[in-house]
Homo-oligomer: A and B are copies of this chain.
Amino acid sequence: MKTTDLQTPALLVDADAFEHNLATMAKALPGPRLRPHVKAHKCTALARRQAAVGHRTFTCATIREMEGMAAAGLGEDLLLANEVLDMSRLGRLAARVTVAVDSEATIDAVVEGGVREVVIDVNVGLPRCGCMPDDAGRLADYARAKRLAVRGVMGYEGHVVGLDDRAARERLCEESMQLLLAAHAQVGGELVSAGGTGTYDCNRWATEIQAGSYALMDTAYGKLGLPFRRALSVLATVISVSPAYAVADCGLKSLGMDHGNPAMDDAQVWFCSDEHTTFAASGGVRVGDRVRVWPSHVDPTVAYHERMHVVRGDEVVETWAVDLRGW
């Protein structure tokens, strides 16, 4: 099948860029040094490729992702790097399940749901989940008193991973990880889980990195000068052409917009509507032309699509279900 046979909008994965990204990461962080985050692609077929290059431990953000990974036979070591209160579905999984906890309430939920292993989630500077570092030891004691296995700590430096300035990224990453190591000293366990695509090569303190975006990339991470290539695009059809601009048939329902407008080659994106992207092309463009639109944020983009097509040039070599959507 050719890309010209695809109904648009369609999510495309450039096979060469994707394979380059996986190989680059596997070399930098081999085996369990990377715990790929599946939230960035929500696709067990893609996760299987990550496993094939040596990454068989995975990070998830939702119960559905955990269930799907277990059902796909990728449940060797799954970390739900998020707090959950209704743990009943997780307790039933045929997989090794570890869950992040940051309070007595979330530890109680783990016990009640029949999950046995946790990491203490520590706030390392991002105002989101995670206990204060000083609280981590107390929570670990509480969890162990409830007969849970505490595997270590996690702390996501999400306020750092997207910083353009590499020196700032390195400095703030170190500051964050000092907080996490201090917590780890109180908690113990083999895991210090942290990091993302933006800090995968400067976070030297974590035992494992939770990067996900590196596999497909987006224009936001593309600005950081990382060795990963943009692999994810939305294929769209030009449906209307005016003297000053043209319109492609992808929009707010096929693109995550929290990082702003997508990008296009040789064209300036003006704005997106539900099913349209209005753009000014520098060259001539005609109704019926196919264009590639580059998302600014991979995660919420993928979550809009039922499938992604792996392409080599204009050849569709494989189609993967985005099978981990929903909750």
Contacts of A295 in B (CB 8 A): none
A270 at the B interface (CB under 8 A): yes
CB pair A105–B287 under 8 Å, yes or no, is yes
CB pair B85–A274 under 8 Å, yes or no, is no
Number of interface residues of A (CB under 8 A): 57
Contacts of A85 in B (CB 8 A): 237, 239, 287-288
The distance from the CB of A46 to the nearest CB of chain B, in whole angstroms, is 17
Copies of this chain assembled into the complex = 2
Contacts of A84 in B (CB 8 A): 239, 249
Cα–Cα distance between A278 and B156 once the two chains are bound (Å): 15
The distance from the CB of A106 to the nearest CB of chain B, in whole angstroms, is 7
CB pair B288–A300 under 8 Å, yes or no, is no
A9 at the B interface (CB under 8 A): yes
Question: Which of B62, B128, B252 contacts A273, CB < 8 Å?
Answer: B128
Sort A-B residue pairs by CB-CB distance and give the 6 closest, nearest first: A83-B239, A105-B287, A257-B258, A129-B240, A252-B300, A253-B303
Q: Please report A residues at the B interface, Cβ cutoff 8 Å.
A: 7-9, 39, 61-63, 82-86, 102-103, 105-106, 123, 127-130, 132, 158, 237, 239-242, 244-245, 247, 249, 252-254, 256-258, 270, 272-276, 278, 286-288, 297, 299-300, 303-306, 326-327
- 22 pairs of residues in contact across A and B, judged by CB atoms under 8 Å: A39-B274, A83-B240, A83-B247, A85-B239, A85-B288, A103-B240, A103-B241, A103-B287, A105-B287, A123-B242, A128-B273, A129-B239, A129-B240, A130-B240, A252-B256, A252-B297, A253-B300, A254-B327, A257-B300, A274-B300, A303-B304, A304-B304
